[in-house]
Amino acid sequence: MRAARFYDRGDIRIDEINEPIVKAGQVGIDVAWCGICGTDLHEFLDGPIFCPSAEHPNPITGEVPPVTLGHEMSGVVNFIGEGVSGLKVGDHVVVEPYIVPEGTDTSETGHYNLSEGSNFIGLGGNGGGLAEKISVDERWVHKIPDNLPLDEAALIEPLSVGYHAVERANLSEKSTVLVVGAGPIGLLTAAVAKAQGHTVIISEPSGLRRKKAQEAQVADYFFNPIEDDIQAKVHEINEKGVDAAFECTSVQPGFDACLDAIRMGGTVVIVAIWGKPLVLIWQN
């Protein structure tokens, strides 16, 4: 089968590889759709970050490059491994793409996302969604309704990122928030905040992305930070500043805009993956 695999910074190749073996407790999936995440782009431009290197194998999977990329995936179950009881062949599914140490508490209250050495399927190893097929432990495979289009279902993983970001902000009712960056994660973060009844401001220099945000109706205000004074615009809307700011760009001006716009006691949520050092000027 074909797979997009990370070899090193600036080196991603389409390879012919063997189909994965479905082991006991695992589910075989025909991948239908897989998004290209900003994290994949960071690996290509700045990596390895989550991907292993020849000198530093992944501590859990033991894998070294090349590794298959892709963690925003949907598909159809093609095989059920021994001991799997909650799924069947033909089920439409999405993957929660975690790699965690053996013995980790993976219950809803286990905070397994913070486990030591944790990583992601499609970055740290264990196959990836940018391949024709993948084999995944049953714990990380979630059934979805058959009437949910699989291309839309591939957005569930990045949507969960946006939802988690908004939850972490711990907003009161009818808060005012700033989302810096209107790429896919920024749009989904804005959509969650808007759906919860908050006033949403988007800052995005790309005209195409601002247009997409406007068409999707995920915000109330849309500004261009190249032309607009974001801090001034925010204080026109809410004189105290925003209650929360979501940094979805991984560039220094985006982070600075969050600090400029936030009210006293507000919350800045770093949503983006940073490939370069972030500078925090404490005087600000």
Sign of CA dihedral 32, 35, 39, 44: positive
Give burial (CB, 10 Å; 0-12/13-18/19+) of 242: buried
Sign of CA dihedral 93, 97, 101, 105: negative
Choosing from 112, 127, 154, the residue where a domain stops is 154
Count of residues making up the chain: 284
- 31 in any annotated domain: yes
> Is 223 strand, coil or helix?
strand
Residues 143 and 168 in one domain: no
Choosing from 131, 154, 177, the residue where a domain stops is 154
**Which uninterrupted H or E stretch holds 120?**
strand 119-120
Cβ–Cβ under 8 Å, residues 177 and 242? yes
Extract the residue ranges of the chain whose pLDDT is less than 50: none
Residues 150 and 213 in one domain: no
Q: How many CA atoms lie within 13 A of 49 on its CB side?
A: 19
Task: Kindly state the DSSP code that residue 83 receives in the 8-state scheme.
Answer: T
Residues 140 and 209 in one domain: no
Cβ–Cβ under 8 Å, residues 176 and 198? yes
pTM: 0.91
Quote the radius of gyration of the chain (alpha carbons, Å): 20
Choosing from 103, 123, 154, the residue where a domain stops is 154
- 284 in any annotated domain: no
> From CA 114, how far away is CA 58, in angstroms rounded?
16
How much is the pLDDT for 122? 98
Residues 10 and 137 in one domain: yes
Residues 229 and 122 in one domain: no
Residues 118 and 201 in one domain: no
Task: Kindly state the DSSP code that residue 131 receives in the 8-state scheme.
Answer: B
> From CA 239, how far away is CA 136, in angstroms rounded?
50
Residues 29 and 45 in one domain: yes
How much is the pLDDT for 125? 96
> From CA 268, how far away is CA 247, in angstroms rounded?
7
Residues 87 and 121 in one domain: yes
Residues 18 and 112 in one domain: yes
The neighbour count for residue 177, using CB atoms within 10 Å, is 29
Which tokens go with 43? 């690996």
Which tokens go with 67? 């590794």
Range of the domain at 95: 2-154
Mean pLDDT of the chain: 96
How much is the pLDDT for 112? 93
> From CA 16, how far away is CA 176, in angstroms rounded?
49
122 contacts: CB under 8 Å, gap ≥ 6: 68, 69, 70, 71, 73, 97, 128, 129, 130
Cβ–Cβ under 8 Å, residues 245 and 180? yes
How much is the pLDDT for 275? 79
Which tokens go with 165? 């970001």
The residue written with tokens 């084999």 in the block is 135
